[in-house]
Amino acid sequence: MKKNTAKMKRSAADKIFTVCNTIFLVAFCVITLYPVLNTVAVSFNDGIDAVRGGIHLWPRIFTLQNYKTVFSRQNIITGAYISVLRTVIGTVLALATNALLAYVVSRKQFLFRSQLSLFWVITMYVSGGMIPTLILYRNLGLTSSFWVYVIPGMISAFNMMVMRTYMEGLPGALEESAKIDGAGDFRIFVSIISPLCKPVYATVALFVAVGQWNSWFDAMLYNRMSPEYTTLQYELMKLLSSVMQQGGTANPGAPGAAAAVTPVTVRAAATVVTMLPIICLYPFLQRYFVTGMTIGSVKE
Amino acid sequence: MKSKRISWREIKRQKFLMICTVCFVIYGIIFYYLPLGGWIMAFQNYKAKDGFFGSEFVGLDKFKFLFSDSTFLQVIRNTLAMGVLNLVCTFVMAIVFAILLNEVRLMAGKKLVQTVSYLPHFLSWIIVTGILHDALSSSGIINELLVKVGILDSPINFFAHKGYFWPIVAFANVWKETGWNAIVYLAAITSIDPSLYEAATIDGAGRWAKIKNITLPGIKPTIIILLIMNVGNVLNAGFEVQYLLGNGLIKSVADTIDIYTLTWGVGQNDYSLGTAAGIFKSVVAIILIVAANQIAKKTGEEKLF
């Protein structure tokens, strides 16, 4: 009898726990999604009307004018073009070089394996800092050029380690038989290791691609004077600062407010354009991200 | 242990690996080690026209200037305060979120919540600060809610008050990274032996008791490793949000070491001072990570190296 009441007490406590937990997680999702959906709603709303506020998940006065404005701006078109280009070229280059480096470091019989590994691990902890790096790029002629986006950050010790951990976990038997057949190290890399590494290649490629797409600071620091190499994120950043300087909301009486668009709504539209590739691809690709995150956290 | 003998035959056989190594080392020296040579600028009165060799050496003058500059002391305080606040908030939230998500019995629900949770990680800081700015603007949702429930009489401008800035930055970090950081903990939780939970259930433990006595101790090594890894990053935790959300009114609480470096080094072209500030940051980061590792070692916990 006593046991039963204890059990009932416990199941009641469990129920309360479940209810509270559900409320917490639903609130978490709402807080995560609401600002994103709100931005989408604002981007489809009439500019002057949006200044009044109170738009939540649905536009009050529907218009496509904000998007027309965004796509009529030359700097945004250029930015989008450069952003796509740097994402594609940067990802291909980073994948090829990191994979090759990871392969070299994963060769157990390689003479300088541990030295090469240490050489790269050090780069994770020590860096020259912003100013020496800027001066170096200037001296190398990388500033005011497209290549500053893809060459300097190409190899990263973290991505290399993720790939290396995966390669070291592969069964050695296939490789041994290829060696007996006379395949060299390059052949083994291309035709035996790489096909087996597709999952980890996908993971690293996605990390790099998202990083390339989202980065803005390099455009500001190195290519401020070269509008032909601007990126979408940097253009968005300029829009954000123009909104902030107006104190968040455009004053309806201010000059320029006669147009149907305001900085707030144009920025919302530009934000949606910038988010769109990530949001569209995200549901299909997220499992690769998770794989990478868990491989990367495996301790040596 | 058999040591690897360096013989010409072996080197010849590893020709391909050697060539690759040479290329990777050259690349690494140029892009990762050469900037370290630029640290010499911190001890010079560096002028671009004179170069590294022609510029006048001034010893520790730049560092003396830094530490006598009240603005620099202020940015150190801001960087540390926001770094620690971010670290604590994102850490606690990620662990809480992972544990609570793990308690969800409905697999579809769990998957859905998790997918939603790490979406913000993939949005750039530009986007995150932009939508945060909208939410906190005078016509934004936060002011609207606060006025509706009667906490505020009229909307306030959150970005004009110094007291709000640090919590806003911490919230931005929590919003962006909680779900993502929780992935590691969720992976660690799944590796806990299920028989422990079964035994606890038979002994009559409730869910709280199981979380406290099995789940938390089970993920403790993971927590400690991540803590050590992130302590070194405390000073790095302060650039993008502060740069994007800060403004003239709240400069004294919003500026960080990186912003200081940017203002002086790039804005004012005082490369030497910018470099000195950067060195200070690097040195503190290394001290922090070694110290955290040492403390972990002393207490007999997992350590990084």
Cβ–Cβ < 8 Å for B207, A17: yes
Task: Evaluate whether residue A6 is within a structural domain.
Answer: no
Task: Evaluate whether residue A268 is within a structural domain.
Answer: yes
- What domain range is A198 assigned to? 83-212
Average pLDDT of the segment spanning A197-216:
90
Question: Which of A134-138, A195-199, B5-9 has the least mean pLDDT?
Answer: B5-9
How many percent of chain A have pLDDT more than 90? 43
- Looking at residue B7, its pLDDT comes to 75
CA distance A233 to chain B (A): 7
Domain end point (choices A178, A212, A246): A212
Q: Cβ–Cβ of B31/A152 closer than 8 Å?
A: yes
Are A104 and A199 found together in one domain? yes
The CA-to-CA distance between both ends of chain B, in Å, stands at 22
> Residue B35 is nearest to which of A136, A184, A248, comparing CB atoms?
A136
Q: Cβ–Cβ of A29/B117 closer than 8 Å?
A: yes
CA distance B70 to chain A (A): 22
Residues 140-169 in B contacting A (C-alpha not used; CB under 8 Å): 140-141, 144, 157, 159
Torsion, CA B183, CA B187, CA B192, CA B194, rounded to 10:
100
Q: Residue A165, Cα to own-chain centre: how many angstroms?
A: 22
Rg (CA), chain B: 25
Domain count, chain A: 2
User: Please, where are the H alpha helices in chain A?
Assistant: 2-43, 47-51, 65-72, 74-106, 113-125, 130-139, 157-168, 173-180, 185-188, 194-196, 198-214, 217-222, 232-245, 263-296
Q: Cβ–Cβ of B175/A289 closer than 8 Å?
A: no
Task: Evaluate whether residue A187 is within a structural domain.
Answer: yes
Cβ–Cβ < 8 Å for A223, A148: yes
Are A89 and A164 found together in one domain? yes
Q: Cβ–Cβ of B130/A42 closer than 8 Å?
A: no
> What is the pLDDT confidence band of residue A279, given thresholds at 50, 70 and 90?
confident
> Residue B139 is nearest to which of A21, A53, A126, comparing CB atoms?
A53
Please report how many Cα atoms fall inside a 13 Å half-sphere around the Cα of residue A179, on the Cβ side. 11
Task: Evaluate whether residue A44 is within a structural domain.
Answer: yes
Q: Residue A246, Cα to own-chain centre: how many angstroms?
A: 29
> What is the pLDDT confidence band of residue A5, given thresholds at 50, 70 and 90?
low
- Domain segments of chain B as ranges: 61-298
> Residue B247 is nearest to which of A34, A51, A244, comparing CB atoms?
A244
Average pLDDT, chain A: 85
CA distance B195 to chain A (A): 20
Angle between the N-to-C axes of helices A2-43 and A263-296, in degrees from 0 to 180, rounded to the nearest 10: 130
Q: Cβ–Cβ of B141/A38 closer than 8 Å?
A: yes
- Looking at residue A299, its pLDDT comes to 38
Domain end point (choices A184, A212, A240): A212
Are A63 and A134 found together in one domain? no
- Residues from chain B that touch A156, judged by Cβ atoms under 8 A, are none
Secondary structure element (H or E) that encloses residue B45, with its range: strand B44-45
Domain B61-298 CATH superfamily: MetI-like (1.10.3720.10)
What is the amino acid identity at position B254? A
Task: Evaluate whether residue A4 is within a structural domain.
Answer: no
Global pTM?
Answer: 0.87
Are A35 and A110 found together in one domain? no
Task: Evaluate whether residue A17 is within a structural domain.
Answer: yes
- Residues from chain A that touch B208, judged by Cβ atoms under 8 A, are 13, 17
Domain end point (choices A161, A181, A212): A212
Q: Residue B132 CB: number of other CB atoms within 10 A?
A: 24
| Of residues A1 and B149, more confidently modeled | B149
Residue with tokens 């190409």: A154
> Residue A110 is nearest to which of B14, B135, B282, comparing CB atoms?
B14
Question: Nearest 5 degrees, angle CA A101-CA A131-CA B283?
Answer: 75
Are A36 and A99 found together in one domain? no
Cβ neighbours of residue B217 closer than 8 Å, sequence gap 6 or more: none
Are A236 and A140 found together in one domain? no
Cβ–Cβ < 8 Å for A69, A261: yes
> What is the pLDDT confidence band of residue A82, given thresholds at 50, 70 and 90?
very high
What is the amino acid identity at position A83? S
Are A98 and A25 found together in one domain? no
Q: Cβ–Cβ of A286/B36 closer than 8 Å?
A: no
Are A88 and A112 found together in one domain? yes
CB-based contact, B184 to chain A, within 8 Å: yes
Are A65 and A102 found together in one domain? no
CB-based contact, B261 to chain A, within 8 Å: yes
Choosing among B3, B17, B99, B249, which should be mutated to test the A contact, i.e. which has the most A CBs within 10 A? B17
Task: Evaluate whether residue A270 is within a structural domain.
Answer: yes
> What is the pLDDT confidence band of residue A50, given thresholds at 50, 70 and 90?
confident
**pLDDT value at A297 more than 60:** no
Are A88 and A199 found together in one domain? yes
Q: Is B302 helix (H, G, I), strand (E, B) or coil?
A: coil
What stretches in chain B show pLDDT beneath 50?
A: 1-2
Read off the pLDDT of residues A228-250 as tens digits, 9 standing for 90 and up. Answer: 999 999 999 988 887 777 644 44
- Looking at residue B82, its pLDDT comes to 93
Question: Nearest 5 degrees, angle CA B30-CA B32-CA B37?
Answer: 75
* CB pairs < 8 Å spanning A and B: 256
Q: Cβ–Cβ of A119/B25 closer than 8 Å?
A: yes
- Looking at residue A295, its pLDDT comes to 64
Are A238 and A288 found together in one domain? yes
Q: Cβ–Cβ of B180/A133 closer than 8 Å?
A: no
How big is chain B, counted in residues?
A: 305
What CATH number is given to the structural domain containing A93?
1.10.3720.10
CB-based contact, B123 to chain A, within 8 Å: yes
| Of residues A126 and A143, more confidently modeled | A143
Are A127 and A165 found together in one domain? yes
**pLDDT value at A255 more than 60:** no
